[in-house]
Each structure stands twice: as C-alpha cells, then as structure tokens.
Amino acid sequence: MKKMKMDDDFQSYLVDGAIFDGDADIPCMLEFENLIIPKSLVPFTARKRVKNKRVFLHCFIHDYQFSSLITETKKHVEELTQFEGVICPDPTITVGGSKTINQAQVYFSRAVGFYLQKNGIFAIPCVRWGDSSTYDYCFLGVPKYYIIAISTHGCISPCKENNNELRNAFIRGLPVMFERLKPKYVIVYGRMPDEIFNPYKSLTTFIHFESDLQTFFNKRKENN
C-alpha cells in the first residue's frame, strides 16, 4: 500500500532537533562555518548522469521533478553526499495564493535543507517570495549574513510585458529580502538584468548562473 506524507506525520523526522522560527514555525537551517561557493550547477533530475560530482545540485525545475527529495528525503542522502552540495528545494510560492499552502512550501524547503545539513551535506537555503502577504514567513529559517540562492527563471522574462504579476512581485520583494537577511552571497539562477540588480551590488556578492533554458538557446544561436 502506497504511503502518503501524513502516514509519516508529514515527514516529521526531517525536523528532529530543529529550532523553529516565527509564528509559522518554520524550521531554521544551520549555518556552516566553512562556506562552499558553487562553481557549477546541475539540475536534480540530471544527478545520475553527472560524472564529475564536484557540482551543486539545484531544484529550479518543475515541482514534480524534485518531489521525491521532499517525500523520500532519507532515500536520497547517500546519493547526495557524493556531490559538493545542494541548493534546497524551490517549491512554488503562488502570488495571491493560499497562505497555508505557501507556508507549507517554505516549511518543507527549510526542513529538507536542515535534514541534509544534519547529514553532512552542504545545503544552501533557497529563498522565494510572492506578494507582500508572504513576507511574514518566506524569509524565516534562513541564517542572516549567510549564503542564499534565488531564481528569476519564469518570473523575469526578456520581454517586460510577459509575466507582469510575477515580475513585479519579484522586484518588490527583492529589497525586503536584503533588509531581512542581509546575505553575504546571493546565487542568482536565471536572468539577472542590470536595471533590477544593480542597486544591490554594493550589498552582497552575486554569483550568477544562466538557467538551463538560457544555456540551451545560447548554444543553439552559436551553432547557427
């Protein structure tokens, strides 16, 4: 018989020993003394095809593609220890969506990160926000003055007229993220337009990675 999350008390083992943050009780991730700065990112879905394990796995992909990392975290630990590190799951935060569901998405991202850290894996917090109603909980559980990862993939389109709601939500939340977390390093996955990010370049060190889709189209242009 197939198990559901509720059969294991919603993966409660993930947060054994965790400290919880804020009214939403978001588990706090740990702060490793020795930072590892990613030099290369590979999607979680490609992990079995990677020969050079000195890379970080990322979850900037469709939610269903990394769902097993949340629902069956234990099964992945041994495999993930082979890699240099992991960027935490990036579940969808819906603009104008259910507060309960959005909080749960943040909870599981931090819970998985905490569990991986406890097992010796260098896990980088992934921070995502929606509209202003998410600010009370979407930054919880992340150490200040640390390293974080964010993604613009899917919300910062080359055409400003596309995805206006997502684009505006990202732009409005960016200064709030810097105010709350004051990150030392920010990994940016996806487009990084100067008009959006230049005002913050004095506040942090940005580490930019093109999205896999950008890389694909750039290579296709070169070949043509």
- Looking up tokens 């896999």 gives 212
Whether 54 contacts 84, CB under 8 Å: yes
**pLDDT level of residue 220 (50, 70, 90 thresholds):** low
Residue 195 domain flag:
no
Task: Tell me the average pLDDT across 153-178.
Answer: 84
**pLDDT level of residue 1 (50, 70, 90 thresholds):** very low
**pLDDT level of residue 155 (50, 70, 90 thresholds):** confident
Whether 156 contacts 196, CB under 8 Å: yes
Residue 213 domain flag:
no
In the chain, how many domains are there?
1
pLDDT of residue 37: 97
Q: What is the CATH number of the domain that holds 159?
A: 3.20.20
Residue 208 domain flag:
no
pLDDT in tens, 128-152: 999 999 999 999 999 999 999 999 9
Q: Any residues with CB less than 8 A from the CB of 87 and at least 6 apart, and which? A: 38, 41, 56, 57, 58, 59, 60, 123, 124, 126, 149, 187
d(CA 58, CA 187) in angstroms, rounded, equals 11
